[in-house]
Amino acid sequence: MGKALVAGGGIGGLTAALCFHHHGWSVEVCEKSAELGEVGAGIQISPNAMKVFEALGLGDALSNAGFRPEGIQMRMGESGMRLVNTALGEAAVKRWGSPYLHIHRADLIAVLQAALHERAPNKVRLGASLDTFRREGDHITAILTNGDAMTGDVLIGADGIHSVVREQMLGPDKPIFTGNVAWRSVVPIERLGSDAPDPVACAWMGRGKHAVTYLLRGGKLANLVAVVERDDWTKESWTEPGRRKDALRDFSGWHPIVTRLIEESDTLFRWALFDRAPLDRWVEDRVAIMGDAAHPMLPFMAQGAAMAIEDAWTLAAQVSSDGPTLDALKAYEKIRFNRASGIQANSRANAATFHKRTTLDRLITYGPMWLVDKIAPQVLKKRQDPLYGHDATA
């Protein structure tokens, strides 16, 4: 077995390192930040991604750190009317083979970091930013901005939406601002009283906007992501605070579960949402891109990290099979391309579904959803089977 270099120590990069290690490879990760970590926000990990973590032996550690929602709901943002309520909890395990989990991003990174350190100690270089890479014989050398070099058999670009690996491979190309800005915050549940979110993942529909609420850390924290269509702010940063009064204005007249979360937030951060049209290719020679570097998507299906996690397994499994490296990388691209690109497109389409503006549009979109949920809820579950039932480790 060989050595995999991984550029980027986010959710995708750390999972890739663990997957390569699981398949018998040695690994080395370079992460440009001085420490591993994530922003103070939650993330939904659906059963398809949990299958990879379970195969890595991390299912229990993640479940212990996270929160298992009882269901997924869709509600109207202002009235709170419930459109759809799909059971999760044990029903998710029964139907899709693994649990649905909500977890604080910092807790997820901590579990991945600890597992990697235990299995492959000291293989993460921090404050180490990839600058460029070059082929040297049957190896690949990654050059860092400080002049250091790392040599391995393959280079995995898990360096996010502004990937330098993608840029060197495919040339400069800016991600596209989608016209959506996300507010997000995390609030201790005891501050919310009777307005605390139910123990479910809930998407609240509105005119040109939507919100998502869910619980973290055994139900002690509530997480809010609230997305508004606007074009006057395009900064992509998890740490850029916004003004509470602006968020309250955006969600004025909404259900108190959403507005109380905004009122009780110590800080509300704003993030301009970018994505990119599907790329022509993700691999070249001994190099592959994965996760947001390959297919950044709107968070409207909560699948960006899930796709990175699935990519990580498939990449490691293909590259560690017999045969030339380039063939293995191409097999990875072939296996993953349609799935990730389809979910990228569907995530974009969900913006239109969640943000219906006219009364007629709302009636013809949400009316049938409400009806199907009441008379044939199995239809809604069945629609999720290809997404949540997928097993990249099979």
Contacts with ligand FAD, residue ranges (CB under 6 A): 7-13, 30-33, 43-44, 129-130, 158-160, 164, 182, 184, 225, 271, 291-293, 299, 302-306, 308
Please state the closest distance from residue 324 (CB atom) to ligand FAD, in A: 26
Please state the closest distance from residue 393 (CB atom) to ligand FAD, in A: 17
Please state the closest distance from residue 301 (CB atom) to ligand FAD, in A: 8
| Burial of 94 per CB tally in 10 Å (0-12, 13-18, 19+) | exposed
Please state the closest distance from residue 11 (CB atom) to ligand FAD, in A: 5
DSSP per position, 313-355: HHHHHHHTSSS-HHHHHHHHHHHHHHHHHHHHHHHHHHHHHHT
Please state the closest distance from residue 54 (CB atom) to ligand FAD, in A: 16
Please state the closest distance from residue 5 (CB atom) to ligand FAD, in A: 11
Q: Which one, 120 or 304, has the nearer CB to ligand FAD?
A: 304
Please state the closest distance from residue 308 (CB atom) to ligand FAD, in A: 4
Q: Which one, 227 or 319, has the nearer CB to ligand FAD?
A: 227
The Cα 229–Cα 243 span in angstroms is 17
* Per-residue 3-state assignment (H helix, E strand, C coil) for 14-42: HHHHHHHHHCCCEEEEEECCCCCCCCCCE
The Cα 55–Cα 68 span in angstroms is 19
Which residues 6+ apart lie within 8 Å of 358 measured at CB? Answer: none
Q: Which one, 129 or 350, has the nearer CB to ligand FAD?
A: 129
The number of beta carbons lying within 10 Å of the beta carbon of residue 203 is: 23
Q: Give the dihedral of Cα atoms 199, 297, 143, 318; nearest 10 deg.
A: 80
DSSP per position, 81-134: -EEEEEE-THHHHHHHSS--EEEEHHHHHHHHHHHHHHHSTT-EEET--EEEEE
| Cβ atoms of residues 183 and 33 within 8 Å | no
Nearest to 69 by CA among 197, 225, 211: 197
- Positive or negative torsion for Cα 71, 77, 82, 83: negative
Q: Which one, 34 or 360, has the nearer CB to ligand FAD?
A: 34
Catalytic: which of 100, 214, 366, 388?
214
| Cβ atoms of residues 85 and 202 within 8 Å | no
Q: Please list the residues that pair with 149 across neighbouring strands.
A: 143
| Cβ atoms of residues 196 and 67 within 8 Å | no
Q: Which one, 43 or 268, has the nearer CB to ligand FAD?
A: 43
Clarify whether 214 is annotated catalytic.
yes
The Cα 289–Cα 329 span in angstroms is 10
Q: Which one, 30 or 288, has the nearer CB to ligand FAD?
A: 30
Please state the closest distance from residue 264 (CB atom) to ligand FAD, in A: 19
Q: Which one, 4 or 164, has the nearer CB to ligand FAD?
A: 164
The Cα 206–Cα 253 span in angstroms is 11
The Cα 378–Cα 372 span in angstroms is 9
Q: Which one, 33 or 239, has the nearer CB to ligand FAD?
A: 33
> Where in the sequence numbering do the catalytic residues fall?
214
